[in-house]
Amino acid sequence: MSETETDGYSREKGFFKIPCSRTAFMTGVGSGLVIGLAHFMFTSRVKRSADVSVLSFGFITLGAWCVCRYDRARKRLQQKKIKENLQHGIKLEKVNNVTVVDSESGST
C-alpha cells in the first residue's frame, strides 16, 4: 500500500469521494446553521450561539455519517445474500435439470 492510500481511498480523490461524507457534511452544515441562528434569535448571545452551532454541526455530521455507513453496510450485506441465493438456486436448477417455463409464451 502506498503512502497516499488508506482503506482503499487515495488522498488525491478528496474528502467528498469517500462514501457518505458529502451528504453527512451537507446535513451537518445546514442543521448547524439553522440551530445556531435559532439559538441566536432566542437568546441574542453571539458567542454562545456560535458555540452551539459548531457543536451541533459536529454531532449531527458524525451522526449522519454513522447512520449512512450503517445503511450502506446493511444494503451491501443484503445484496451479498441475494447474490448467494441466486447462485445457489442456479446450481440447484442445473443439478435437477429443471426447465423454466416462460409465462408469457407458455413454452419451455
Q: What is the mean pLDDT of residues 36-53?
A: 95
Q: What is the mean pLDDT of residues 42-58?
A: 95
Indicate whether 69 belongs to any domain.
Answer: yes
Q: What CA–CA distance (Å, rounded) separates 93 from 24?
A: 44
What radius of gyration, in Å, describes the C-alpha atoms of the chain?
25
Question: Nearest CA to 20 among 62, 48, 83?
Answer: 62
Lowest mean pLDDT among 8-17, 39-48, 80-89, 97-106: 97-106
* Domain that includes residue 54, residue range: 20-96
Indicate whether 27 belongs to any domain.
Answer: yes
More confident residue, 100 or 46: 46
Indicate whether 30 belongs to any domain.
Answer: yes
Indicate whether 77 belongs to any domain.
Answer: yes
Count of domains forming the chain: 1
Indicate whether 75 belongs to any domain.
Answer: yes
Indicate whether 4 belongs to any domain.
Answer: no
pLDDT of residue 1: 45
